[in-house]
Chain A
């Protein structure tokens, strides 16, 4: 039994043990004080609180936080010429009762759960300086549970009683190629935010407090033992609270990466420790191997999340990704690292030209300390490949995100492509500009200027999709879709964990705005409103300081009367102007492009037409199918009879040789007024030259497509186009042959050229001659 334990304390004659038990702020507490050099005076025990029974230079304190004899935490104080040292050991659950006192010292189990050594930094010799807590410390952390990973922690102070920074650095990196935290730093960067030390359990050593659950927004707790989780946490300066400037890097300084930095800002003093703005980095300098590809270039993604007036409720978020190089250097204590400074970071982030961006509104707000992760470009492999030019296709996670519920657990594996119920996201995947926001007069909500589109997860398998058809700064179309695609995820595929993605939806209603023309299409219902109102609005920047945050609040506050996303037709009430509507009609093939809007309407006997006939130039509503279109160039609406697609297809092919690529140009002219959109396959004999899931040719439109074709066999091929229900024959194409290089030409192919056959002949003759000579000599 004795062999299983390690005697930590040195035995001294006259060592004494005294125990106090009771409660501390409602928590059971049992403290055993072991004085190694003297006897604890009974009178002291009688008169003094337990922390004065021993000292903080040579004695040991063992804490138990249950009503039994078990020990959960031990602080052993030792002293050397450099000053005192406190060794904090967290005892494992199974070993609580294995801690013993043998009169000469404390006997700890052979392994403990956590081990922390704290000592005043050189030049200091006490836990207090000038009556204030000494925050100039050297800390050594050992995590025996996690492969004995050890960290050196340096805590620095701006003045006695107020820590300024702490740095954490891994020592003896066990696996240099693995991605895990190697460097961290916490800086108390905002001087206007106070440092309120929590009541320590042991006033003579003021760093340690205990409790169940750590409220980061409450008083500061440099060392906190969580009775529930039995873990010792150390936040010397603070964590994720207003004024913090943090680093969490997988690489050592100066080229820090990942969350470097991660900063929290307070603009409104009434928020206390709650921040108004957080800036999170997902930054990978060139050659940092732990981020997404390509490692040779900087990969920089940043997110700004901000609150409105409610502390602790994140409301909006902006994220951007690019290849920004950060070569500014800052110092944290003695450590120099590459990062944008605390004060400049928000404006730096808000003023960059980002390659791709997203904007998110949590319409009900979100708690937590880190801001909004949904729909962000952070930690996103696919978007990194896209903006680096490694991918041809845009990542589809933003146009078709996973639709999850508010209660969905956080899981980093899906975060970038998910949108919880009540969250509204917008994206722009080829942005290349400084981000700005505006409040749309159409829906009265904050939008990202120059967004490609967006999705709002309304819940109940409905989304409100936004589109920017004209490519300008503003959203043009709002489409409420019912998502019919509900499919069970394959068990093995963690990348598709939800049953619903915002794709293949059915438009329930749609409202589009273009040059003052509003088109509403609902169930058997179409409304046109000609308004003189413009849907453009004033831009304002992404909040990055007090002024811009206030401005954003002011703007979004103006959107308090935001419109109901479930009933787009009610939005029309806000717009005044001539109006024409048709009801009890079939409305199909709504097309909105940069050129205008295009709808095919089928009117029947009971179709009802109402409104200003001058919009179309005639009454409209005649029985039959006709096309209603708005042409942006002329600025007028037209209505004409719908004629079915009449296609003329031509194919232009260069000279074709087997195995060699050639260019094929397909041209389709549509003489009908109705467009056509259908799957298509272009074939040459058995070869598939091109395939489309949906090939769209507009009414009275033309499509020209160019692609490569590499036939493998010579001969004549018949080229056909299967287009929806049409099977079109385009004529024969003759493929010339390409013979394999053979014979002498093949023998001379290498760099030896004609030397190769020569070498073959000479060496063969030489060897054969040698054989003949040998046969003759040996007379075989």
Chain B
């Protein structure tokens, strides 16, 4: 008996949605635990780049009272609108909401939606739950849904759109229940619309994946028509419908998102240039841009290369194990064409499509686009959403073999132990814990207090605050619209960071800044040798001795 067939025989019928809290308890507990740790770890005093940027975007929207305004987020309006709505309804300000509450919402959504998708794909609550637990062991996913940007919604709603996509097939083709079918189709399009208004690039990841699925479906039309009549038509309709929704969003609902077309165009041009350069290195003018190094951060952002390898080992397990399982299932699928259920085909095809998209992002990260050089990290988060079911299937196959040699108790103990270790590693990496990371998320309130004191008493001054961006992001969380003026005025105070420079009139000092500077191997500012003009017991401000008659 081959492995695929074994799995098929062991698969269970679809179970109804757990009706009791006890049934959902572990899933809710999973989401709450990870979200709670993210909040508790730094007592809610954390920030990072996207979170700070979106706090400013939300502040801009609240100030403008409009969806579009100068400096608005050009990739989609829905996240700042959502935060604005929630803050308006609850009275909780955006920073508090982002730091204390939305990490929990993100992880809870992730747990519930992933469980819903995985139990549908695996046709088992137990396996679905195991797959959901596995997803939380991927720290990149936990970090993405916990931090304060649109991705807590784009990631979780991508799961919902996958669920709606799958359920529409199940209801329409397997159960032939047309009312639920229609309901899921409506959910599918509404969710697609919401995703695209959240972020037209990442929100479209499922749209791109489903388009690739359609291409594969057309390539295997003969097979599909033989075993799953009308599926090709259904997939075609949903994909075309999704593209229409995209056109509606870009042309009418949120025209500013159409600027992303230029970004895609630039990426395509640069990809061509890279390809040409690799094939004809004598072409001197290619490429007409600086090639970026997306992996530079792996050498600088972590306590050491070894620590980074340890933290990312689970990533490789996920990739290799799921890919191996995918290959195995794919091979068995070709051998057992008639017996393959539709959902399994969809699962395999989705994995292939997301894998292709992820592979595509690797060269894009070398193109030095304005959108950043971490596209593969960002896309990995979406691609990894479809891997846990395959890992669970593979794991089941492996443990089935191991049970011949090892006791179930031992396997459980080892499994739980490995889970505990992987969970701790996931939490450490997801929170960028100072034990493993140099890019710290947290701050001390006294540091921000010192920055505020300075900001209120200077006009177009400059103060060095930390070796990277930690405190600049922190300040925005406490005082949105502060000196991190994203796309804003060139006037005002400047909080500087990075390499210390004698050009700064002031420099902030705290034990955290000092420790972080050493972690980054950065020289601390020479201003620490000069006048200490402020001290709140934890943070101090040093001022350069006046160099001119006009400096005070």
Contacts and interface: CB of A to CB of B under 8 A. Distances in A.
A746 B444 contact: no
B228 interface: no
Categorize the interface residue count of chain A: 35 or more
A749 B431 CA distance: 13
B420 A764 contact: yes
A390 B459 CA distance: 10
Contacts of B36: 763
Nearest to B522: A659
A708 B30 contact: no
B527 to A, nearest CB: 8
B37 interface: yes
Contacts of A767: 29-30, 33, 423
A676 interface: no
A659 B517 contact: yes
Interface string A347-390: 00000000100000000000000000000000000000011111
A772 interface: yes
B515 A749 contact: yes
Contact of B548 (A386, A750, A756, A766): A386
A659 B550 contact: no
A772 B416 contact: yes
Interface string A709-744: 111100000000000000000000000001111110
Contact of A741 (B434, B460, B523): B434
A590 interface: no
A391 B548 contact: yes
Contacts of A388: 460, 550
A284 to B, nearest CB: 12
A62 B524 CA distance: 76
Interface string B494-528: 00000010110000000010010111011111101
Given A747-B433, A767-B29, A660 B549 contact: no
A361 B434 CA distance: 65
Contacts of B193: none
B43 interface: yes
A750 B41 contact: yes
Given A295-B460, A743-B435, A759-B40, A710 B550 contact: no
B133 interface: yes
Contact of A760 (B427, B445, B522, B548): B427
A659 B524 contact: yes
B548 A392 contact: yes
Contacts of A430: 548-550
Interface string B430-466: 0001110000001011000000000000011100000
B419 interface: yes
A189 B518 CA distance: 67
A645 interface: no
Contacts of B434: 741, 746-747, 749-750
A293 B515 contact: no
B379 interface: no
Nearest to A687: B523
Interface string B215-245: 0000000000000000000000000000000
A703 to B, nearest CB: 18
Contacts of B43: 750-752, 755
B547 interface: yes
Contacts of B503: 392
Given A295-B459, A746-B435, A766-B33, A752 B550 contact: no
A755 B44 CA distance: 13
Given A750-B45, A767-B423, A741 B518 contact: yes
Contacts of B404: none
A661 B524 contact: yes
Contact of B29 (A297, A659, A741, A766): A766
Contacts of A296: 459-460
Interface in B192-218: none
Contacts of B515: 740-741, 749
Contacts of B435: 742-743, 746-747
Contact of A746 (B433, B522, B525): B433
Residue with the greatest number of chain A CB neighbours at <10 A, chosen from B36, B521, B546: B521
Interface string A752-780: 10011001100110111011101100101
A760 B39 CA distance: 12
A759 B38 CA distance: 10
A660 B522 CA distance: 9
A759 B548 contact: no
B29 A749 contact: no
A706 to B, nearest CB: 10
A768 B419 contact: yes
A663 interface: yes
Residue with the greatest number of chain B CB neighbours at <10 A, chosen from A295, A746, A750, A772: A750
A764 B460 contact: no
11 contacts: A295-B459, A391-B548, A430-B550, A659-B521, A659-B522, A662-B529, A741-B434, A750-B434, A752-B40, A764-B424, A768-B416
Interface of B: 25-26, 29-30, 33, 36-37, 40-43, 45, 126, 129, 133, 303, 412, 416, 419-420, 423-424, 427, 433-435, 442, 444-445, 459-461, 491, 500, 502-503, 512, 515, 517-519, 521-526, 528-529, 546-552
Given A659-B523, A759-B41, A763-B36, 14 more contacts: A293-B460, A294-B460, A294-B461, A297-B459, A389-B551, A392-B548, A712-B521, A739-B518, A742-B435, A751-B43, A755-B40, A763-B40, A771-B419, A775-B412
Interface of A: 289, 293-297, 355, 386-392, 394, 430, 432, 659-663, 708-712, 738-743, 746-747, 749-752, 755-756, 759-760, 763-764, 766-768, 770-772, 774-775, 778, 780
